Structure 1
Amino acid sequence: MALLRVLLFFVFLILVSGQTLPFSPADNYLIDCGAPNTIDLPDGRIFKSDPQSLPLLSARDNIQVSIPAGGNVNVPSPLYLTARIFVQPSTYKFKVTKPGLHWIRLHFFPFNNTEFDLTTASFSVTTDDYVLLHTFTFDEDPSKWLLKEYLLNVTSQTLSLNFSPMRNSAAFINAIEFVSAPDVLLYGSDLTGDFAFQTSYRLNVGGPTITSQNDTLDRRWDPDRMFLYKAAAAKPTSVSPTVITYPEGLSPLVAPNWVYASAVQMADVRVSKPNFNITWKLGVDPAFGYLIRLHFCDIVSQSLNDLYFNVYINGKMAISGLDLSSLTSGLGVPYYKDFLLNASMVSDQVSVEVGPMKDDSSKPNAILNGLEILKMSNSVGSLDGEFGVDGSRSKGNGGSNRRVVVAVGFAMMFGAFVGLGAMVVKWSKRPKDWEKRNSFSSWLLPLHAGHSSFMNSKNSYNLGSHKSGYMGNNFYSSTLGLGRYFSFSELQDATKNFDQNAVIGVGGFGNVYLGDLEDGTRVAVKRGNPQSEQGLTEFQTEIQMLSKLRHRHLVSLIGYCDENSEMILVYEYMSNGPLRDHLYGKNLSPLSWKQRLEICIGAARGLHYLHTGAAQGIIHRDVKTTNILLDENFIAKVADFGLSKNAPTMEQGHVSTAVKGSFGYLDPEYFRRQQLTDKSDVYSFGVVLLEALCARPAINPALPREQVNLADWAMQLKKKGLLEKIVDSHLVSEINPESMKKFAEAAEKCLAEHGSDRPSMGDVLWNLEYALQLHEAASQGKVEEEEVPENYPMGSVEEPKTEISQAVAAGEVHVVENSGTAELFAQLAGIQGR
């Protein structure tokens, strides 16, 4: 009975405190390097001495150092009083009892000793698969200790931790922890196999330092005060940790109740309607992506439904109208949210802000309880530098999955980053389901675009359940990097119930509507038509492609909706519509020659990025003037990726696929051989160039037979030296002959019969830029005949060094005459266009 009473007492304590039984790691290697004896820490952990850990170490060196007795140092633990030094490469090899998530914690303190000046040590630390430190030197204050913490998914039976000193230097380590971590930290998702993580920041917002004695997984949480921007705007608050109640499905292992028991809220600035944000700014390495985890717990409200606020990351909306009452159904109940930032979105710092709603729906207040920022390994598995374990070099797409294609080199950031299932104040739109509350709201980072299933069943249009709870094994839309998830009711409101007067475009997929979001952002809403022959495949492809592509000259995908069998895509709004409308058919003011050149250059830049900017490359497969959209400044952006394909690898040479495309733009070689390459896009773009020059459709059945196909007709006239006869009459008085000649040469080369004879989009881009230079020079009266060689080759090493052309590899392009596509056009009757 006495034993039973003790057990019941402990159960009572667990229920009151909201804690679970302590996590028992399957692997628990704790080494005090250089120490002669075992050390017991106040948190109950026991670190083995160096002699006890020697079976794990393979090293030629046996240099152990310690701080002399009576040495005056300020360190948080006796672990930092001893160290082991390696002058030659050395390895600790750990046996893995249970594969899965593991912590690696490396402790450093370069104290004075007689063997080596540790402040000058330079070395690398790697595992079998990841680079943890590359040419690391202790550039911190040498009087301070340093902890490097990593979270890795270990899948093998052993893990090697390698210390490699640089030439004429040494490596050192004070203590090592290699400890199993619970899968619940990353929800048991695929993410664990794709990345390694390094803790950049772990902050107990509004509270004191939390050490391993009070944390559920021996972590350290630092105070946030030093990272607050304008600390006067923030007011710390706290409650007893015992009042924190964890909901079903949320483990205290994610964060201890001490984190949720403190917070900052908006300070009282003694104004009638406070309207400011609380901001934290934290320095980061811009070469990597980051996982940001925000912890919330309403410990400031006196009643439910009294706290709604906005959350921003890097100045962009992350959560709109966060309503903790709706999410947790109680006060003092923890909640957290994850966001992934691609390296393209990171400068040298990450800012996190919380602020009040801009309406009168609640009292103006906002809170944050905890903040974690984890650096994510790059494309070669490095957490420090651009080189992988095998010496391979990252392509600069920090934080990218090594098994999927990830966008790199963004020219501009996404216009509206919003967390998945963003919440608004209206009760009818609030999620009622706990499992909707926490998921990876992937901002531009397509974690699983290469291998996740979109479907629940073969008859369902649904992309996948939005219930991505903690312990679920399947992650769908929330982890696909799809931007914001819109509810159907949100899009109904934005488009006035899909009012026909809001239709701004009609395509094979369905109508495109002009919409206004609640924050005032104008968007283009493309709603799939159930009767359309284009359906789920194009919907999936469009999302997958645009979620991993960001460029100034590509239309940005803001989000999507797949509710109630709907297939809806939401894009940035391009106020000047498609290029085609400005060339013919709409009675709009004609574009000047300079405008047409700049638009074609912009589109070429977008296509050049598609072909070369991503790791594998993308073939658009439907390049035409209706898929080149213009914003308010007539900046061109390529749109509509429903037919796009990943480019072939070097070994493949081409992609074998059924022929798809649009009449008049289709590559004849692709049509005949059903072998797709990026040169198919080049052919289609050549037709676009002729449309811009001649202001007529690619196909016009009303014309005489020989004139129906623009590409054939224009090339026949060019051979005869008569191309100017079909140039848009609006251009006759302003077009410079040399500029037009260079432009026409580019179009001709694009339309070569064989793909191998066509230029790359980079070469086409250079030629168009050169045509623009000729036009501008002529308009300034600076063109001299000798400046324009008769047969100036594309891609020559003598090219003018414009901003873009400097990035294009130099090389001759072989020119052949286009034999025309009349035969092709005669065969097109059996192909369905897009």
Structure 2
Amino acid sequence: MEIKENNRFSSISSPLMSSSSMAILLVVLCFVFNDPNAAFAVGPGASFIPKDNFLIDCGANKELGALPDGRLFQTDEQSEQYLEANDHLVAAATPETKAPSPVDLTARVFLHEATYIFQMAEPGWHWLRLHFLPVKSNDFDLLQAKFSVVTEKYVLLHSFNLNNDSTFVLKEFLLNITEPKLSITFFPLKNSAAFINAIEVVSAPMDLIADSNMELSPVGTIEGLTKYAFQTLYRLNMGGPIITPRNDTIGRTWETDEIYRTPKAAGRSVIVETNSIKYQDGLEEIGMLIAPPSVYASAVQMGEAHTSVPNFNVTWKLEADPSFGYLIRFHFCDIVSKALNNLYFNVYVNGKPAITNLDLSHKLGSLATAYYKDVVVNASLMVGGLTVQIGPANVEMGDTNAILNGLEVLKISNSVNSLDGEFGVDGKSTNGSSRGTVAAVGFAMMFGAFVGLGAMVMKWHKRPQDWQKRNSFSSWLLPVHAGDSSFMSKSSYGSHKTNTGLGLGRLFSLAELQEATKNFDPNSIIGVGGFGNVYIGVIDEGTKVAVKRGNAQSEQGITEFQTEIHMLSKLRHRHLVSLIGYCDENSEMILVYEFMSNGPFRDHLYGKDVTPLSWKQRLEICIGAARGLHYLHTGTAQGIIHRDVKTTNILLDESFTAKVADFGLSKDAAMGQGHVSTAVKGSFGYLDPEYFRRQQLTEKSDVYSFGVVLLEALCARPAINPSLPREQVNLADWAMQCKRKGCLEKIMDPLLVGATNPESMTKLAKAAEKCLAEHGVDRPSMGDVLWNLEYALQLQESFSQGKGEDESTVASVAAVAPATSVDASTNAPNSIERPVVQVEQSRQPVEVEDVDDDSGSSMFAHFSNLNGR
């Protein structure tokens, strides 16, 4: 945490607040307790007693007594346990020096390494606040001081310097201390000094930071946050005044948001009485410690709220180091709505959807109720600083408005436990090298510039034969056990080099794929995902292919590439995607698939202007997808769980043959276990509620998702449609309600009425109902589902033959549509029985290939606003 003059939580180079704000802040930059047993308290139920409460006035020769806010600072010489230093100096402020507190008017100066040691009363989260004000020193100009500050585990400041700025700076850190003592060591750089005006080490609530949280990119859940250290960069009270430590529940300061809002007119403030703010039942105490009512009693809403066609978002721009990841905490409280279910809005971080279609009153059951949401953003998204935006959701209901009540931004320590710079306490850098190694590499690079160039020219032709393999992405990304690649012989796709040993088929050159995609022309993009873009290309004089080009900057892309290659290299089935080849030239990560001319199944059910599918075609497509999933579950020794079954991941070729696509989230089933324990990932509306609750993934999770697919085929509407009345938003819930009431035919696709055998429709609906059972043990296997679908098809064929109908359908090529995804759960019922009738099993759809439009791992993405017929 940094203070530049009065700007307490901004970075050093952030804009300054007004002089009036500075005057207020200088008076109140203090905390509210005066002894280790004091408690922060604001309102009923909100009290916190810090067991560790070390307040050190560094460099002072006598105790100042209680400050106006009641706190009592000790000098650093009152107890020898605090300071260990061979030599140290004292600096004091001149009379005209402005300081937020009297404790900042003196400083301890170190010319050599010095350590403060604090004995901890309890482990857990602790605030560490370091005060810096370059007061007058006869021995050293503190404006020129340059030093580092570390604990036993974390680098807090590296080569820190005030850059000739004489204003006060406060650095605030949040550390999870697990050892019985905390050591804070100051290291002056060569020919320099270190200094400190005051130190605060204070216990923080254990529930302040959860161990598991949502990560924005790659989208999913990040675990182990309690193992990291944090530095507070911003703590903003949106739309309201400064909140002082005296008025906060655990002694924090919240500054106003106006200087970060661009333009200011884009948002306007709304403020209500603090006594109108409520917290969720049973969570009042921790809720008030997360943020006081005064944060939730003010908000920024859209400056032109309630306009019919808004074309803007409210934006805040914040400076941030792009080398680090950040935990961003959003605070919400609906103090603008007059009725429930009237406010839907989205939140974006650096252009990425972080929260979509947020309906606070539905989530909380009431208005004016506090709610917060944490999002972790890694360094790959931090280029250009940090931008936070709110805007109205794309739904046809409620007010056209968006709100934000509070915002906190905390920097997360990197892989070497540093919060400043790339080196850890042990000298290791984030790339695995040490400081000595870096220096040696620098010398070697200079030497190699002269010697190496000539050697490269002379020796290049003698490089090892396996050089390409050892230096390609496939050498570290591909699985050891590759599958059979005979399906992709030279005769199939020209006389080009193949890589049969890896099971990846043809090895394309980058030039070939550039030519095939017109140099990756943006107009050739047919899909976008966390991995990068998917392009349509033409190879070998007319063969269309789908080219999935990985984004080297995306961790999500690397993970999904690794998973997809791992799966495709050992799977071969006519109803699963097939790989044509790959390219790993110039650090590119590109996979080439067969082009699926008819796109996703969803496009032919709703949302696209294409010829609708007959009931028979829908059944055949569902059967093909079921066969693919059944093979996944049973065709390998371990079994594979797809984890993202949905209509956008079932692709259709020119013959409308179905193939299951996108294995970026797939998991091997655990040998000898009934489940895989893993973070919840999937798509909103398809997510198995049991998996969501227990974080235990099973094959029955795919069965649940496939049940939703069956309902989409029947009803021709999305799994989630926020524009519908609440009880109809979730297709699985709504369809099962209708089925129990005996009126399922009222919500089926009107185009199927009269052309569908009622028994066939009932058979599919019953299969869907069994798939959607709330408990996995009550759901059928994919083999049972397949059996029932085959039976439903047989019933429909008999019905059609009896009526003499021609069910041929002319299919149109549909562009791949963006997938919608979020995280949620649904409810459902029981088990399935096999039909007595023997079913013809010889029908085997043809081959098809996929390039999914958008990876299903995006748990928070825009809704496509697709409406059913």
In the superposition, the TM-score normalised over structure 2's length comes to 0.48
Q: Which has the higher contact order (CA 8 A, sep 6+)?
A: 2
In the superposition, the TM-score normalised over structure 1's length comes to 0.50
